[in-house]
Amino acid sequence: MRKLLSMSVASGLLLTGAAIYVYQVSQPGTVRMRFDAVVGNKPLVFNDARYSNPGGAGMFRIRDFQFFISNIDLHGEKGVYRVPDSYYLARFDNSSTSYQINLANVPRDWYSAVTFSIGVDEVANGSIMSVGDLDPNSRMAWNWEVGYKFLLFEGALIDSDTIRPLVYHVGFNENRKTLRFNLPEEVAPDSSDALLFTVDVLALFTGKNTVDMAALPNVKFDRDDARLLAGNYGTMISLTARP
Amino acid sequence: MESGGFGSINKSIAMLSLCGVMLIAIIYGFVAYIEPKPTPLQGFTAPFVFGKFRVPDDNPLTQEAVQLGRRLFYDKQLSGDNTVSCSTCHLQHLAFTDGKARSVGVSGKTLDFNSMSLANLMWGPRHFFWNGRVDSLEEQALAPIQDPNEMAQNLDDLIDELEADDVYPGLFRSAYGKISAENIARALATFERTLISADSKYDQYLRGELKLSAEEELGRKLFMAHPDVKVSLRGGNCIDCHSQFLTSGFNAQFDGFSNNGLDTEALLNPGLQFTTGQVTDRGKFKVPTLRNIALTAPYMHDGRFTTLEQVLDHYNEGIRVSDSLSPLIMEADNQPQDAVNIRISLNLNEEEKRAIIAFLHTLTDHSFITEDKFSNPFDADTMPDA
């Protein structure tokens, strides 16, 4: 009698466990993406660190650096998962100089590649609705006739005892850069590791075109200048090589 | 035998549990009866261009809380000697400022700072006071009450006074339950959250209800532009710190704090450095809303400018350099800059300065400063003897 009871309890538990397991593995989960910022081969240190002007004389310091990551797509075996309302303002003014995105409710699949944009798509860029981190009352908004800054870099160039402000605000629809990263190993939601990316701030001035900050201390509404920097920021993100 | 024994034990357990459940039900019923059930605030709206807002889960907007908060806001009993209320330094007809360069409280001593306008407080920086030292309106509300130079009130004494009052025990009971410092703060914060200014000429323009005059429109364009001589774009640079719809500082982290070049390095106040401990935040202050700015003179955290003309002159040609000065202010110029001899100036002409001031006047909201719901409730009935 007692044996029968314990056996039925045990098998009941087993069945429930199996059901929970089957339920869980079919449930969506979280995919994490982490972006670590560096300046060339040096760590990013706001305000205090000095870095060499890559195209000329003087040293520069960084007061602010942030940019939009948008339209994240995860490419899996079953198809492409487009992350809804994915507008993220990546900023690094924290103790680890890194920015993390937690994508919740990602469908169960094995994903082999990820694509996203630096910048904001034309529809969102022409809208004043608050979606994701898009906020028309934020520092990244120019005004509703122009749209958003895709990337913001502010700092100063110090040459002997002259301090010049550096202002690089890059926007305009044509400067959205879509990047694709093929992952070294396929990932499924809720795996223990985040996808790791390195953001090299220096690439903004050394990517395709080397920039002399003294000759070009600001970029705002001039389309050629903006395109020059956008060409560079298209190269600033890479997958972090695993040790 | 054994099973029979179990049966009787089971019976007593069942009886006991039944009694327990009944007891819990009775207690629950009693608590539910005495626990207030305030009415959610009806018809509460804000323009969508202001963006998202958050009300704390533990302090929802209710009619009872607003009514209580409004009364507390205007009640001089909140100060130690019953001579000063919140409204002493926050007068509705001045968009909840006091017209003084720096405010004066019960001690008679001039305070260090200019009284800030209270409008649209759910948007913009989520940090309060000029140096951003608290991050909720609830926390903010209790500071001036206790400050020896402002209202110099002991919170326990205040609670005793309110408990002895004819009206407050009932108001607190229906809004929150008991009278406590926490609930005083909640009520004041709730009233402040309802102070929404969204019917200025600028709002009407944004809603497409009217056109701005040519001068106001020029001012609006200049307000909304960082100058760029390369593409012949002239700008007043205002939007670099004052967001386009709210005209307040930015809400993310401490983005809504800035050093706007009022003082040289040697004279710089700590400002935000007090809150963050970062030397790079020295001299940064909260960027205030410009809603109703024509009514809220004098200007700046210390009230040093008496007119908008002086403010414009400051931004145009009076910037003092220090290490934390905003690079956007330093860089903004409507004339080509000399790379070697940098002289900070916006180089706006007189017509452009006047146009920006004309635009700033479109931010005045007459319905905000005359709205009955925001006014002194003691004017309606009789003011209790102080």
Contact A137 B342 (CB under 8 A): no
More confident residue, B384 or B25: B25
Spell out where A11-146 has E strands: 29-39, 42-43, 51-52, 59-76, 80-82, 87-91, 98-106, 111-118, 141-143
Q: Are B231 and A63 inside 8 Å of each other by CB?
A: no
Residues B57 and B109 occupy one common structural domain: yes
Taking residues B229-258, report their average pLDDT: 96
3-state secondary structure of A13: helix
pLDDT of residue B36: 81
Angle at B376 between CA B372 and CA B378, to 5 degrees: 120
Q: Which of B155, B173, B197 is the last residue of a domain?
A: B197
Residue of B206, B207, B290, B330 to mutate, interface with A, max A Cβ within 10 Å:
B330
CB B112 within 8 A of CB B102: yes
How many structural domains is chain B composed of? 2
Q: Would you say A179 and A116 are in contact if contact means Cβ atoms under 8 Å apart?
A: yes
Q: How far is CA A106 from the centre of its chain?
A: 18
* Confidence at residue B275, expressed as pLDDT on a 0 to 100 scale: 98
Which of A:93-152 have CB within 8 Å of B? 93, 128-130, 135-139, 141-145
**H runs (alpha helix) in chain A:** 2-25, 122-125, 203-206, 223-233
| B326 and B241 fall within a common domain | yes
Q: By the 8 A CB rule, do A203 and A236 touch? A: yes
Any domain includes B206? yes
Tokens standing for B349?
Answer: 């002409």
- Percent over 70 (pLDDT), chain A: 96
| Residue, of B169 and B385, whose pLDDT is higher | B169
Mean pLDDT of B162-182: 97
Chain B positions in Cβ-Cβ contact with residue A155 (cut-off 8 Å) = 327
B15 against A33, higher pLDDT: A33
CA angle B51, B55, B59 (to 5 degrees): 170
B53 lies in the same domain as B157: yes
One-letter identity of residue B134: V
Let me know: does B294 contact B354? Beta carbons within 8 Å.
no
Report the pLDDT value the prediction gives residue A31, as an integer from 0 to 100.
Answer: 97
pLDDT value at residue B30: 60
Residue B334 · residue B348 · CB < 8 Å = yes
**Average pLDDT, integer, range A200-224:** 97
> Hey, where are the domains in chain A?
28-239
In a domain, B42, yes or no: no
ipTM of predicted complex = 0.89
| Distance between A75 CA and the closest CA of chain B, angstroms | 32
- Mean pLDDT, rounded, for A119-143: 96
Instruction: Let me know whether B120 and B243 are in one domain.
Output: no
Does one domain contain both B341 and B239? yes
Average pLDDT of the segment spanning B36-41: 91
Tell me whether residue B28 is exposed, middle or buried, using C-beta atoms within 10 angstroms of its C-beta: 0 to 12, 13 to 18, 19 or more. Answer: exposed
Interface test with B, best of A61, A137, A159 (most B CBs within 10 A): A137
In the numeric block, which tokens belong to residue B161?
């006074």
Residues B250 and B286 in one domain: yes
Task: Note whether A223 and A172 are within 8 A (CB).
Answer: yes
Taking only residues 84 to 103 of chain A, the set having a beta carbon closer than 8 angstroms to any beta carbon of chain B reads 89, 91, 93
Q: Under 8 Å CB-to-CB from B52, ≥6 apart: which residues?
A: A130
For CA atoms B43, B118, B188, B277, the dihedral sign is positive
Tell me which residue range forms the domain holding B301. 201-364
pLDDT single digits (tens) B285-335: 999 999 999 999 999 999 999 999 999 999 999 999 999 999 999 999 999
Query: B308-317 and B350-361 are packed helices; what angle lies between their axes, rounded to 10 degrees?
Result: 130
Q: Are residues B193 and B304 in the same domain?
A: no
Nearest CB to A130 within list B52, B224, B253: B52
**What percentage of residues in chain A have a pLDDT greater than 90?**
84
pLDDT averaged over chain B? Answer: 92
* B226 vs A135, A136, A220: nearest CB: A220
Q: How confident is the model over B83-141, as pLDDT tens digits?
A: 999 999 999 999 999 999 999 999 999 999 999 999 999 999 999 999 999 999 999 99
CB of B167 within 8 Å of a chain A CB? The answer is no
The enclosing domain of B214 has a CATH number of 1.10.760.10
Same domain, yes or no, for B165 and B267?
no
Kind and range of the H or E element at A169? strand A162-171
Binned at pLDDT 50, 70 and 90, residue B21 comes out as confident
Instruction: Confirm or reject contact between A155 and chain B (CB < 8 A).
Output: yes
Percentage above 90 pLDDT, chain B:
84
Phi, psi of B380 (to 5 degrees): -75, -50
Same domain for B233 and B137, yes or no, is: no
**Interface contact A50, partner B, CB < 8 A:** no
Q: Does B181 map to a domain? A: yes
Phi, psi of B122 (to 5 degrees): -85, -5
Same domain, B176 and B218: no
Residue A229 scores a pLDDT above 80: yes
Nearest to B245 among A137, A169, A217 (CB): A137
Last residue of a domain, one of B197, B212, B244: B197
- Shared domain for B313 and B277, answered yes or no, is yes
In a domain, B296, yes or no: yes
Of the candidates B279, B281, B278, B231, the one whose C-alpha atom is nearest the C-alpha of residue B256 is B281
| Residues B173 and B239 reside in one and the same domain | no
Subunit contact A154:B250, Cβ cutoff 8 A:
no
Comparing A174-178, A239-243, B127-131, B200-204, the range with the smallest average pLDDT is A239-243
Which of B197, B222, B247 represents a domain boundary (last residue)? B197
pLDDT band at B386 (very low <50, low <70, confident <90, very high): very low
Q: How confident is the model at residue B255 (pLDDT cuts 50, 70, 90)?
A: very high
Whether B232 has its CB under 8 Å from any CB of chain A: the answer is no
- Of B36-50, B115-129, B260-274, B358-372, the range with the lowest mean pLDDT is B36-50
Q: Which amino acid is at B382?
A: T
Tens-digit pLDDT profile for residues A150-202: 999 999 999 988 899 999 999 999 999 999 999 999 999 998 789 999 999 99
